[in-house]
Amino acid sequence: MKMSKLIVTVDSAANLPNVDTFGESDPFCIVEIKGLKGQTKVIDNDLNPVWKEKIELDLGPPLSPDDKLTVTVKDHETIGPDKLLGMCEIALKDLVKGGKSEMEVNAPLQDANKRAVGATVKVMIVYVGPKGKDTTDSSPSGGGGGQTMDAEDDDEEEEAFDQADGGGGGGGGGGKKSRRKRNVGGAAKRKTRAKLSTKLQDFQIRIRIVEARQLQGANISPVCRVTCYNQMKQTRIKKSTNSPYWGETFFFNFNVSPADLMEELVECGVFNSRRLRSDAMIGAFKFDLGMLYEEDGHVFLNKWLLLSDPEDPQGGAKGYLKICAVILGPGDEAPSFKQASSADEDEDIESNLLRPAGVQLRPATFTLRVYRAEDLPKMDTEIFQGVRKIFTGTSTKELVDPYLVFQFAGKEVRTETKYTNDHPEWNEELRMGLQFPSMCERIKFQMFDWDRMTEDDIIGTNYIDIPLISAQGDTGYLPMFGPCFVNFYGSPREFSELGDQYESLNEGKGEGVAYRGRVLLELKTELGETPEQSKEEIGDDQLLKVQKFLRRRKYRLHAAFSSASMISEVDAPVEFEISIGNYGNKLDESVPPTASTTQPTNAVFDGVHYYFLPWGNTKPCTVVESQWRTSDSGCTPSIFCTESWRSWTRTSRRSTWR
């Protein structure tokens, strides 16, 4: 059977309705016939878009007089489903008369209820009948099938290899081909595969389902199903979570020829076990084993799959699935799947992302303005002060050289280092490119102390969850916050030359027990572009706007102690200290002293179970006077209660109110 195709040139649209709350609609056009779809690019903020894009649809059998072309114009939504702007059906009976014909249509658009919306779309349609296809079949460069052209060509060549040795070529393969069309992930086009053997061999496919993130839906219980070569395996059900972790490995064993194996699909689907079967799918991703075989070592390691609706690939991302996969043949050594933690901040997520054809992510830029920091702890000994004076030319005793690192989705940008300064002013603007929406849900800030002799020390770590600084839906907004102070907590502030047993708290592992400074930050997100440079200085106009947030007010904290029981240390007097930030910490010389501690008291045994402090009817009280900037509402450092004993030696036994 000779092949035919339809060439649709989408010219423009006029008077489209505006369905966006802010700005104007972002229209794109979809053309569809016989289950084949093509799409134009998105035009931002334009109710009279001009596309002038050509879409080629390979029809296979010739057109019939009853065939119609459906043209749909939608508004692109970054979050949520795309909105309908209008649609129309164009009858193609006039194109069936000759072997090649064309028509130009300026069709009115209707809504879903077949009511006119007052908009029109202009298209040019060219039909290439079976006679015209004879020349294009023999030419490898004669036109294309849109986004699926490479995949179809690969399938045709593989089929020719399977049938016989020698003659035949590519001409007969196209006519006998009846296999379904396959959309495979990844943005790069694959090269033509080499000839594969038709001899039966033993193969094993290993697929490890690691985790999923940002699955759509509320109160879902996700389960992942993997289908390969008519075999289906399923993970355990995870209750009430949108970010499940499975860590399960499945084995698929086959005795097939390599040529047949490369044509088979692997489908990874995530379902909501609480829904009916017909409405349970959250999202899916398909790829053929040939794509996996072409990878180095025939293996995917920690690849992220962008899940989408197979029936509506333009509906956007439905979530992300992390997998490992490998093809093992006779004598092959199985690789070790790297155990990647879901909290691995160094993982470059975006470079490991596979996307199905038709699903696009928008480029975006995080812009972080880093103004200043304050209250940083001492991080060096005075022994190296002479060495530091040689390199920096200063003799200040502020023994800390701070810089800030901004991390997201495996990427990082850092400020310059401010030497010997515990109140540094950077006034830098850091920029980081990303793909939006991103599967990474946390922004990481780390403060470091520069060291020439040894590895840089971590002063503190803090995270900000993306859902806390953004919102979805029609009234939602992109990630943004500030300007405000971000507080850092970790190990006790007192510096020790012998190391700190609580140093891991500075890395964000566990809840910090002491205040270690704070940084004034401002974050905003911009869509549609990636940064040309990673950092620059903040302008003077922006610095003036921030000055109004730097005024200070005086505050007074009162605390009364009712009782203290179950005391573990009984061989020395015990006292309690209340601190907020550095205020109240009597070992910190940067703030004036206050009545922040209780009277040292020896513990008394109750005669049966435990020791307690005999305060009786006289309860100790403490007062901490402090000063905070007017922008600190909601960002004031935590209040710490510290228990000390043995000549007032500080320990990590601290209680926290935040």
Say if residue 584 is exposed, middle or buried (CB neighbours under 10 Å; 0-12, 13-18, 19+). buried
Q: Domain range spanning residue 625?
A: 554-657
Same-domain pairing of 619 and 540: no
Q: Answer yes or no: is 560 within a domain.
A: yes
Among 84, 114, 137, where does a domain finish? Answer: 137
Q: Answer yes or no: is 400 within a domain.
A: yes
Same-domain pairing of 560 and 538: no
pLDDT of residue 537: 92
* Residues 647-651, mean pLDDT to the nearest whole number: 37
Beta bridge mates, 205: 252, 327
Same-domain pairing of 564 and 543: no
Same-domain pairing of 390 and 535: yes
Q: Answer yes or no: is 255 within a domain.
A: yes
Helix (H) or strand (E) holding 85: strand 83-91
* Residues 529-557, mean pLDDT to the nearest whole number: 87
CB distance 550 to 629 below 8 Å: yes
Q: Answer yes or no: is 246 within a domain.
A: yes
CB distance 121 to 107 below 8 Å: yes
Helix (H) or strand (E) holding 386: helix 385-392
Q: Which residues contact 593 (CB under 8 A, 6 or more apart)?
A: 586
pLDDT of residue 361: 74
- Cα separation, 192 vs 149, in Å, equals 12
Give the residue, 331 or 304, on which the prediction is more confident: 304
pLDDT in tens, 133-163: 433 333 333 333 333 333 334 443 333 333 3
pLDDT in tens, 426-480: 999 999 988 877 777 789 999 999 987 788 889 999 999 888 898 877 778 899 9
Residue among 562, 111, 152 at smallest CA distance from 357: 152
Same-domain pairing of 457 and 374: yes
Same-domain pairing of 323 and 425: no
pLDDT of residue 169: 35
Helix (H) or strand (E) holding 205: strand 201-213
In this predicted structure, the answer to whether residue 279 has a pLDDT above a threshold of 80 is no
pLDDT of residue 338: 66
Strand order in the sheet with 4-14: 36-39, 27-33, 68-75, 83-91, 100-110, 116-128, 4-14, 50-60
Lowest mean pLDDT among 216-220, 370-374, 591-595, 649-653: 649-653
Cis before 483? omega within 30 = yes
In this predicted structure, the answer to whether residue 185 has a pLDDT above a threshold of 70 is no
Q: Answer yes or no: is 161 within a domain.
A: no
Task: Check which CATH number belongs to the domain holding 242 and give it.
Answer: 2.60.40.150
pLDDT of residue 142: 34
Lowest mean pLDDT among 42-56, 100-114, 491-505: 491-505
Q: Answer yes or no: is 148 within a domain.
A: no
pLDDT of residue 290: 85
Same-domain pairing of 327 and 474: no
In this predicted structure, the answer to whether residue 178 has a pLDDT above a threshold of 90 is no
* Residues 197-203, mean pLDDT to the nearest whole number: 85
Return the structure tokens found at 107: 């069709």
pLDDT averaged over the chain?
A: 79
Same-domain pairing of 323 and 377: no
* Residues 235-258, mean pLDDT to the nearest whole number: 91
pLDDT in tens, 584-597: 888 888 888 888 89
Return the structure tokens found at 228: 């390969």
CB distance 502 to 513 below 8 Å: yes
* Residues 569-580, mean pLDDT to the nearest whole number: 86
Same-domain pairing of 29 and 110: yes
* Residues 287-316, mean pLDDT to the nearest whole number: 84
Q: How many domains does the chain have?
A: 4
Same-domain pairing of 499 and 562: no
Among 502, 517, 549, where does a domain finish? Answer: 549
Q: Answer yes or no: is 157 within a domain.
A: no
Same-domain pairing of 511 and 368: yes
Lowest mean pLDDT among 96-100, 166-170, 507-511: 166-170
Q: Which residues contact 342 (CB under 8 A, 6 or more apart)?
A: 211, 213, 243, 245
pLDDT of residue 308: 87
pLDDT in tens, 604-618: 998 888 889 999 888
Q: Answer yes or no: is 146 within a domain.
A: no
Same-domain pairing of 516 and 399: yes
pLDDT in tens, 402-433: 999 999 877 889 999 998 888 999 999 999 98
In this predicted structure, the answer to whether residue 30 has a pLDDT above a threshold of 90 is yes
pTM of the full predicted structure? 0.57
CB distance 574 to 645 below 8 Å: yes
Return the structure tokens found at 93: 């009976």
- Cα separation, 465 vs 552, in Å, equals 28
Residue 651, Ramachandran bin (φ over 0: left; ψ between -120 and 50: alpha; else beta)? beta
Cis before 592? omega within 30 = no
pLDDT of residue 508: 86
Lowest mean pLDDT among 118-122, 129-133, 440-444: 129-133
pLDDT in tens, 324-354: 999 998 888 888 886 544 445 556 666 778 8
Lowest mean pLDDT among 229-238, 409-418, 539-548, 642-651: 642-651
